[in-house]
Amino acid sequence: MKKKHNPQIGDHINLAELKKGQKAKVLFLNTTDSATRRKLLDMGITEGVQIKVKKIAPLGDPIDCELRGYELCLRKEDLKMIDVEVIR
Amino acid sequence: MRIALVGNQNSGKTTLFNLLTGNNQKIGNWPGVTIEKKVGIIRGTDHELIDLPGVYSLSPYSSEEQITRQFLFEEEIDLILNVIDATSIERSLYLSTQLLELKIPMLIALNMTDLLENRGIKIDIDLLMDRLDTTILPISAIKKTNVFNLIQTIKKQDYRKNNYAHIYDHVLEKTVELIEQDIELNHKRFIAIKMLEGDMSYEHYVTEPILEKIQSLSKNYQRDLEQVIADERYRYIEFIRDEAIDSKLEKETWTDKIDNVLLNRYLAIPIFIVIMFLIYYLAAGPVGGFTVDIVSQWMDSLKSWTYTSLIDLNASSWSASLVVDGILAGVGAILSFLPQLIILFLLISLLETTGYMARIAFFLDRLFQKMGLSGKSLIPFIIGSGCSVPAIMAARTIPNETEKKMTIMLTPFIPCSAKLPIITLFAGYFFEEYAGLVSASLYFLAIMIIIVSALILKRLFAKGKPSAFILELPNYKVPHVQFILRDTYEKVKEFISHAGSVILLASLIIWILISFSWTFKYGIHPDQSILASLGKGLAYIFYPMLGTLSWGTSVSAVQGLIAKEQVVASMAIIAGLSEANSDSLLIFGSQAFAFFTAPSAYAFMVFNLFSAPCFGSIGAMRQELGTTKRMWMAVLFQTGLAWLLAVIIFQLGSLIGGIIT
């Protein structure tokens, strides 16, 4: 179990761990469900894209991310499957 | 010429469609307003324009997206009019790159350009045109900017044809071209790419030589080809973006500022509850009730005036009775609720156009997920407070089958606008100054019923993994007064024409059934009528929730199947022909309905609100659930639950009432 601390620049984490206001670059999509994977790709979550955590739902889930100039809501469960590198 | 209107969800296609064709299709500010294709003719031309459900790509995710791909793929189309939201151009162009592969001439309408300056975005349209080898026209459908120009361009066919953009890297491009040669179908390039992506729909066309090419390419990249292609597309778009688009990012927008409050951790849910409470309170509570009183007084004078005039004109008493006690009583009872409905329609329309709906779906998703539903189920529920039929159809945007079916079965529990007359009538009379609270309590009860039923249904259905929740959060928009008024007008018009057709006919039939006996004798006591003898059998079913055998109440409740407002129309007709018991309000002053007490009134409301919906909605459920068996399951579930609840409420209410007095 990793120690709980705020993700630092350069850390490799999954997207669900990113804090509000932080930005990260997508490294790898682990999503196994093929329909969901396809949809995520179509929505622009491809390797290298920069994603910022913008708003968090009042109940803690889902999370609203900003990417490619628009906002996309995703559940934590799906964000967990996306590996990222923190860039800010 | 046949033109297909294609674009992302919420990119303003339908707004443009209405503008180009003079049509009045429904618009809103949430992804997935359009769920069926709509056809219109572009003004001043004979070109056919087809509005298709919004898609983000040509790989459909939910059932309404399937319509778009199928249409583009199978129909003869002369031009694709691709609508792009200029404020999120990157994601929009992803779809454009796929549309270009269909090799159908394409014209891009760059919509929402009126918002660009404010957002600090600058687009070099000429450069964009060159890179995509496609004509691009900047427009604003809402501000009606440059739309005339768009029509002229289409008319003169003054756009680039044989579009070809080099998107993929050399190796991928080469393989696509090779596979194309092995395909003997239309849309070769599109299919070749779908094959590389491993799309199941085209799997059966993959021949041995094609498979070899796919495998060798796959070896080359050492990665999943589906991802390679998506990456390539977006890489190309990023390349164009860097060249042609200049945007000052990181600016806090209006949307962010509003969301800081409306999506605030502590405030979001209280604000939501207040908003919903206000909507129903304004519509069903004192404000609505007040207007209903005025209009029904007016209706009463109209009725007595009509009756005297008809008798003065030497009309026979039966024909005067048909007009006054049948048509005017029935239809008039319904129309008197019109002011209230206008309030409700206005408020729902306002909610739909601001962009708040998608946010409710966003912050309630977690709660709904626990109930086996999706946050997206909320959209049908809110539309359902207007009418269940479009609400049931709106469930199409939910990709998971189980969640979709559950949403369809639960949507009719939301009190629709046609149930509002029932609520106002009973709550206003029996609960007087508490009428507003009682009305609100019914909406609260509806929510409780949905939660409990969802938990029951969740157990009944073999539950798989919940689907992903992937929803675009649109920017807030200032509600467009003209659109809201038009939307409200359309709904009001439909309500009135419904009253003038279905309710009118039903009222006529009820008048005949109550005015004649089985031996066709006129001028009998209502208790001897055909209707009474039909209702006496039904009365036993309603006895446990009314505490008395009332044929009039029973036949009226059953007519809720025709239309929920018909319950009130039927009661008004029966009351008008029965002896008056007191001077109080028309319906409850008559002997036929004088037995009602507060508990039985509440119980009867509950039954009518939550039992089987009208035939229209049942038909919609049948269509969307796919089988008649599932439809019957839903109807029986709803009716059974409503009956049980009504009986419990009446028995408990009477018990408590007995103890107090």
Compute the average pLDDT of residues B514-526: 86
Percent over 70 (pLDDT), chain A: 94
Higher pLDDT, B581 or B177: B177
Q: Are residues B534 and B571 in the same domain?
A: yes
Residue from the list A41, A72, A78 with its beta carbon closest to the beta carbon of B230 = A41
Question: Are A43 and B367 within 8 A, CB to CB?
Answer: no
Q: Are residues B418 and B550 in the same domain?
A: yes
Q: Are residues B348 and B230 in the same domain?
A: no
Question: Are A69 and B87 within 8 A, CB to CB?
Answer: yes
Measured between alpha carbons, how far is B428 from B215 in angstroms, rounded to an integer? 72
Give contacts of B265 with chain A, Cβ < 8 Å: 56, 58
Per-residue pLDDT tens digits for B618-629: 999 999 998 999
Measured between alpha carbons, how far is B307 from B329 in angstroms, rounded to an integer? 12
Residue from the list B56, B90, B266 with its beta carbon closest to the beta carbon of A42 = B56
Compute the average pLDDT of residues B570-598: 80
| pLDDT at res. B289 | 67
On whether the CB atoms of residues B333 and B569 are closer than 8 A, the answer is yes
Domain harbouring B21, CATH code: 3.40.50.300
pTM of the full predicted structure?
A: 0.87
| pLDDT at res. B584 | 54
Per-residue pLDDT tens digits for B184-205: 888 889 999 999 998 888 888 8
Compute the average pLDDT of residues B342-356: 90
Give contacts of B365 with chain A, Cβ < 8 Å: 57, 61-62, 73, 75
Measured between alpha carbons, how far is B558 from B146 in angstroms, rounded to an integer? 54
| pLDDT at res. A1 | 47
On whether the CB atoms of residues A54 and B481 are closer than 8 A, the answer is no
Residue B255 lies in a domain: no
Measured between alpha carbons, how far is B351 from B356 in angstroms, rounded to an integer? 6
Question: Are B366 and A37 within 8 A, CB to CB?
Answer: no
Compute the average pLDDT of residues B305-313: 89
Q: Are residues B412 and B513 in the same domain?
A: yes
The CA distances from residue B80 to B17, B48, B93, B218, in Å, are: 13, 12, 14, 32
Please state which of the four CATH numbers 2.30.30.90, 3.40.50.300, 3.40.50.2000, 3.40.50.720 is assigned to the domain occupying A12-86. Answer: 2.30.30.90
Residue from the list B94, B366, B470 with its beta carbon closest to the beta carbon of A39 = B470
Domain boundary residue, one of B92, B126, B155: B155
The ipTM assigned to this model is 0.93
H/E stretch holding A54 reads: strand A50-56
- Choose among A87, A69, A84: nearest CA to A27: A84
Left (φ > 0), alpha (ψ -120 to 50) or beta: where does B144 sit?
left
**Residue B302's pLDDT band (boundaries 50, 70, 90)?**
confident
Residue from the list A33, A57, A74 with its beta carbon closest to the beta carbon of B366 = A57
Q: Are residues B118 and B180 in the same domain?
A: no
Q: Number of H helices and number of E strands within chain B?
A: 31, 9
Higher pLDDT, B358 or B285: B358
Q: Number of residue pairs across A and B with CB atoms under 8 Å?
A: 115
Structure tokens at B192: 């070749």
Residue B13 has pLDDT above 50, yes or no: yes
Measured between alpha carbons, how far is B272 from B595 in angstroms, rounded to an integer? 39
Q: Are residues B588 and B520 in the same domain?
A: yes
| pLDDT at res. B464 | 66
Residue B503 lies in a domain: yes
On whether the CB atoms of residues A52 and A23 are closer than 8 A, the answer is yes
Residue B575 burial by Cβ neighbours in a 10 Å radius (0-12, 13-18, 19+): buried
Chain B residues interacting with chain A (CB cutoff of 8 angstroms): 56-57, 59, 61, 87-91, 94, 226-227, 230-231, 234, 247, 249, 256, 259, 263-266, 268-269, 362-363, 365-367, 369, 375, 399, 465, 467-473
Question: Are A47 and B231 within 8 A, CB to CB?
Answer: yes
Question: Are A57 and B365 within 8 A, CB to CB?
Answer: yes
Structure tokens at B307: 């009756």
Residue B515 lies in a domain: yes
B213 Cα to chain A: minimum distance (Å): 22
| pLDDT at res. B440 | 82
Q: Residue B433: CB partners within 8 Å, gap ≥ 6?
A: none
A53 Cα to chain B: minimum distance (Å): 13
Residue from the list A38, A47, A75 with its beta carbon closest to the beta carbon of B226 = A38
A33 Cα to chain B: minimum distance (Å): 9
Residue from the list B230, B231, B264 with its beta carbon closest to the beta carbon of A42 = B230
Give contacts of A43 with chain B, Cβ < 8 Å: 56, 91, 470, 472
Q: Are residues B233 and B276 in the same domain?
A: no
Identify the closest residue of chain A to B249 by CA–CA distance.
A69
Q: Are residues B487 and B630 in the same domain?
A: yes
Domain residue ranges in chain A: 12-86
On whether the CB atoms of residues B377 and B394 are closer than 8 A, the answer is no
Residue B259 lies in a domain: no
Residue B161 lies in a domain: no
Q: Are residues B569 and B541 in the same domain?
A: yes
Structure tokens at B477: 């928009």
- Choose among B242, B131, B130, B230: nearest CA to B172: B230
| pLDDT at res. B586 | 67
Give contacts of A38 with chain B, Cβ < 8 Å: 59, 61, 226
Residue B20 burial by Cβ neighbours in a 10 Å radius (0-12, 13-18, 19+): buried
On whether the CB atoms of residues B572 and B330 are closer than 8 A, the answer is yes
Q: Checking DSSP bridges between strand A82-86 and strand A23-29, what pairing results, if any? A: antiparallel
Measured between alpha carbons, how far is B293 from B200 in angstroms, rounded to an integer? 61
Residue B261 lies in a domain: no
Give contacts of B259 with chain A, Cβ < 8 Å: 55
**Residue B288's pLDDT band (boundaries 50, 70, 90)?**
low
Identify the closest residue of chain A to B55 by CA–CA distance.
A42
Question: Are A62 and B365 within 8 A, CB to CB?
Answer: yes
For chain B, how many structural domains are there in total?
Answer: 3
Question: Are B366 and A43 within 8 A, CB to CB?
Answer: no
Per-residue pLDDT tens digits for A26-45: 999 999 888 899 999 999 99
Measured between alpha carbons, how far is B553 from B527 in angstroms, rounded to an integer? 13
Identify the closest residue of chain B to A41 by CA–CA distance.
B230
Residue B344 has pLDDT above 70, yes or no: yes
> Is residue B456 classed as helix, strand or coil in its secondary structure?
helix
The domain in which residue B231 lies consists of 170-247
Question: Are A62 and B366 within 8 A, CB to CB?
Answer: yes
Residue B474 lies in a domain: yes
Measured between alpha carbons, how far is B319 from B556 in angstroms, rounded to an integer? 23
Higher pLDDT, B49 or B582: B49
Compute the average pLDDT of residues A11-37: 92
On whether the CB atoms of residues B50 and B71 are closer than 8 A, the answer is yes
Higher pLDDT, B335 or B93: B93
Domain harbouring B235, CATH code: 1.10.287.1770
Mutation choice for B interface testing from A46, A67, A78 by most B CBs within 10 A: A46
On whether the CB atoms of residues B477 and B353 are closer than 8 A, the answer is yes
Q: Checking DSSP bridges between strand A23-29 and strand A12-14, what pairing results, if any? A: unpaired
Identify the closest residue of chain B to A36 by CA–CA distance.
B468
Secondary structure in 3-state letters for B541-587: HHHHHHCCCCHHHHHHHHHHHCCCCHHHHHHHHHHHHCCECCCCCHH
Give contacts of A33 with chain B, Cβ < 8 Å: 465, 468
Per-residue pLDDT tens digits for B74-118: 899 999 999 999 998 999 999 999 999 998 999 999 999 998 888
Residue tagged 């008493």 (tokens): B317
Residue B288 lies in a domain: yes
